[in-house]
Structure 1
Amino acid sequence: MVKQTLNSTLDSDLPDVTSLNLLDQESSPKNKTHTPLSPMRKVCVQSLKKRVTAVSAERNRVRMEREGTPLGFPDSVYFHAAAIFQRTHVEKDLAHRLIRYGHISPSGDDDDDDDDGDKDSGIVDDGDPSTKQNEHWAYELAFNTLKYQDLLEEILIDSYFYRSQQMPDDLMALVVVILYDLLDRKFQTREPIKRVEEGLIKEVRQVEDSLYRFKTKLEASLAQYRIKQNLLTIDSYLPPAVRAKQQRSQTVPLYAWVNTLKASIEDMCETLRTSGFTQVDSHINLVGNVFCKDKHCSNVLLFPRRLRKQLEKTKLVTEHTLIIQDKSRSLAACAVHPLLGKGGDILMVGSFSALTVAHVAVQATACSGCVHVCGVLNVSTFNKELQSILTSTGCKNVKLMSEYFNELNEWDLRIQKVRVIVLLPQCSASALCNPVEFILNENGDRGLLHGLSKGTISDSKLDALVAKQKQDLSHALNFPKVKGIVYCTCSVYPEENEQLVKRALENADSKAKAVAFR
């Protein structure tokens, strides 16, 4: 069993408190009055402003370095993020419900018959890099909005935006999503997205214009909330578990594994050194154009996260000699090699990406083995991407099976040489600092986003995940010729890790194998 915590959540910063002094420059609803700030209150405002200035400057620098994220997004990203938020958020009971959210269609006005798009985002997964980027932005934006949902609702109520603007309920999900982004970029103007296919969506422009007109009151309401709650940074509003992950995400390195079918690890290090990179011994201080070897995986290198865009432009990455991927999947792939004998095959089961299949296939090639992947031919988009990745990485030892794992048995002639089963089930993703990136890239459970945004997973959801994991692991233990099982989750819950493995071993059929699993 392999476990690894990954950290890559984008951090956020909201406006400072200077807008409090501008509160009376906009007209307020007649039934709402504001008391002028007392001298003591003004001192508190000035003091808080000084305390957050240094923090805001640093966080602005971090925001500008985050992975290619512009100031603002295309209209379609906001619209799809609102659709994700609307169907992901949990409706509060009437006593605590501040804002009502109606239904929002996951497609724009000019695309009424988009029935083939992603069922969650409304974005069609056609394999195009810009489309995948839009999907990632939409989910990241919806996830961050979920984190701050209660705070955003308080701001909309306190500023009287919710009452005075009279927005229809079916646009309120769009309102909170755009409000989060506007506060995150301090109401700076959106950067133009220079892509011809990006059209305008009138609802997005309508909501954005309305929020801009209320800019001063919205910022003032946030500032008043921060003073009242004594929040040095807006992150202090988040639950401790979520805040800790967000803080750790700022220091996590970028992981990339070397495709040894194209270059050895030594050749890769030499190529990087001749390209201006400096090799260091430790990952503790990855600053500048540096890299180091991973201490757990022999073919994995670490880089500063800010170098991602720079690396993605190199032939090393575009030609899949160096492949950027989170470490949890590299750990699983590297755990296969010591278990695999000469000519032994591997069976892959669960939820994973085409890159993960390729990494396992590279490991199997060293032992002249094949990789059998079950249950993928039913998903045409994944199958297409997988074939493309396998071709570009040079992997020729992968065989696809249309059957699901529970439909296979020990008598199947195709898997008679399988000696290792790699089981990568959908899990709670509770150990991840950026679960959105992992869930999208590794075909995880998108229904987890609301719980993860609050730092908790419901018992019913966890029970359902554990039941499936137990079913698959128990089935894997029944193959008599299998010598090893790599079971990998990204969870902090014992129910998905040690406890599940222990119970599966206790319930395993001892007669199925001459040598029992340990």
Structure 2
Amino acid sequence: HNLIIVVLCDYMERKFQSRLVRSDLEDDDNDDDVVENHRTKLNAALARLCRISLNVLTLDSFLPESVRKNDKIASGMLVSAWVNAAKTSLHEVKQALHDKNFKEVSTQDELTHLTYLHDDHCPDLIFFPGQMLQKLEKISIVTKKFLVLQDKSSSVGLHALVSVLGEDDDVVYVNVGSAISAGHLASILYNRGSSVYAFGVTSKKQLKQCSMNLEKLGVRGQGYYLRKINQQIDGCFFLFNK
């Protein structure tokens, strides 16, 4: 019995990893193997005992107070999403939300559970309560990219830019990243006769990711290519429009 306790304490000390046996010490294989074969159950039982002794109701309670506070703040933040004009319209998105029992409200204070708010600054932007994020990620208009979940901070600059563009003006977009925001810009400019030239892709992997994201958004691209200088990828550009 005492040997089992010693072996168990040893396992806890090395976090249930296999033991390296010293050649100059006698090895008790039988007891060690018993603990090894039941290490998952032992680990779970010890975790339960620890939670009981500390009077902890959930695993989240083990997290530092600062982390739990940040999680609580994050859950209270609004979720924003923009309407993808390359695939749908604001009216159709609102209708789809109503079909899912969402109700439009007029003020942020009214946002709770199955409600949404049309933004005052960005005409294609909609807000939802933070606790609805997981539900939103599963509804078809989001999975099919008719409605794209993205923070409002990524949209404000795009709408400010479009407000000063002339008809048929084109846009150069640098540091394209994943191309989600560039795709949003193309959505805003949909049916305006403008094109977006996006630069800043520095690898084939990134180019593939950008192409996939644009395809999901329904934005058609033309002129995809990579350019190399001195065996290094110097960047590439692709243009896309409606």
TM-score range, shorter chain: 0.5 to 0.7
Which one of 147, 154, 159 corresponds to residue 334 of structure 1?
159
Equivalent position of 1:322 in the other structure: 147
Written as runs of structure 1 = structure 2, the 5 A alignment for 1:101-140 is none
Per-residue deviation at 1:300?
Answer: 1.4
Which one of 347, 365, 383 corresponds to residue 207 of structure 2?
383
Are 1:280 and 1:290, in contact at CA under 8 Å, matched by a contact in 2?
yes
Deviation string, structure 1 residues 41-81 (Cα, Å, up to 9, x no partner):
xxxxxxxxxxxxxxxxxxxxxxxxxxxxxxxxxxxxxxxxx
Equivalent position of 1:238 in the other structure: 64
Which one has a bigger Cα radius of gyration?
2
Per-residue deviation at 1:271?
Answer: 4.0
Are 1:373 and 1:400, in contact at CA under 8 Å, matched by a contact in 2?
no
Three-state SS of the structure 2 residue aligned to 1:29 is: helix
- Is 2:122 aligned against 1:292? no
Which one of 26, 29, 36 corresponds to residue 5 of structure 2?
29
Three-state SS of the structure 2 residue aligned to 1:249 is: helix
Which one of 103, 121, 127 corresponds to residue 278 of structure 1?
103
Per-residue deviation at 1:366?
Answer: 5.6
- Is 2:83 aligned against 1:258? yes
Deviation string, structure 1 residues 342-372 (Cα, Å, up to 9, x no partner):
3333233336323322102122346532222
Equivalent position of 1:348 in the other structure: 173
- Is 2:12 aligned against 1:162? yes
Using CA pairs under 8 Å that are at least 6 residues apart, name the structure with larger relative contact order, 1 or 2.
Answer: 1
State the alpha-carbon separation in 1 of the partners of residues 184 and 194 from structure 2.
13
Instruction: Check 1:169–1:289 CA distance in 2 against 1; reply closer, same or farther (3 A cut).
Output: farther
User: Over the residues paired in the alignment, what is the CA RMSD in angstroms?
Assistant: 4.3
- Is 2:41 aligned against 1:212? yes
State the alpha-carbon separation in 2 of the partners of residues 358 and 213 from structure 1.
51
Instruction: Check 1:391–1:250 CA distance in 2 against 1; reply closer, same or farther (3 A cut).
Output: closer
Which TM-score applies when normalising by structure 1?
Answer: 0.34
Are 2:80 and 2:125, in contact at CA under 8 Å, matched by a contact in 1?
yes
Stretches of structure 1 that go unaligned for 5 or more consecutive residues are 1-26, 33-158, 171-205, 409-413, 416-518
Instruction: Check 1:215–1:231 CA distance in 2 against 1; reply closer, same or farther (3 A cut).
Output: closer
If each structure's strand is expressed as a fraction of its own residues, which one has the higher value? 2
Are 1:277 and 1:290, in contact at CA under 8 Å, matched by a contact in 2?
yes
State the alpha-carbon separation in 1 of the partners of residues 207 and 49 from structure 2.
51
Instruction: Check 1:350–1:357 CA distance in 2 against 1; reply closer, same or farther (3 A cut).
Output: same
Per-residue deviation at 1:291?
Answer: 1.7
Residue identity (%): 20
Size of the aligned set, in residue pairs, is 215
Equivalent position of 2:138 in the other structure: 312
State the alpha-carbon separation in 2 of the partners of residues 373 and 249 from structure 1.
32
Are 1:347 and 1:372, in contact at CA under 8 Å, matched by a contact in 2?
yes
Stretches of structure 2 that go unaligned for 5 or more consecutive residues are 21-34, 229-233
Are 1:370 and 1:397, in contact at CA under 8 Å, matched by a contact in 2?
no
Deviation string, structure 1 residues 279-302 (Cα, Å, up to 9, x no partner):
112344533432221344321112
Three-state SS of the structure 2 residue aligned to 1:306 is: helix
Which TM-score applies when normalising by structure 2?
Answer: 0.64
Deviation string, structure 1 residues 229-272 (Cα, Å, up to 9, x no partner):
x99995575263x3432111222333221012333324432443
Are 1:365 and 1:397, in contact at CA under 8 Å, matched by a contact in 2?
no
Larger mean CA deviation between 291-300 and 327-336 belongs to 327-336
If each structure's helix is expressed as a fraction of its own residues, which one has the higher value? 1
Task: Kindly provide the amino acid, as one letter, of the partner of residue 64 in structure 2.
Answer: L
State the alpha-carbon separation in 2 of the partners of residues 285 and 208 from structure 1.
55
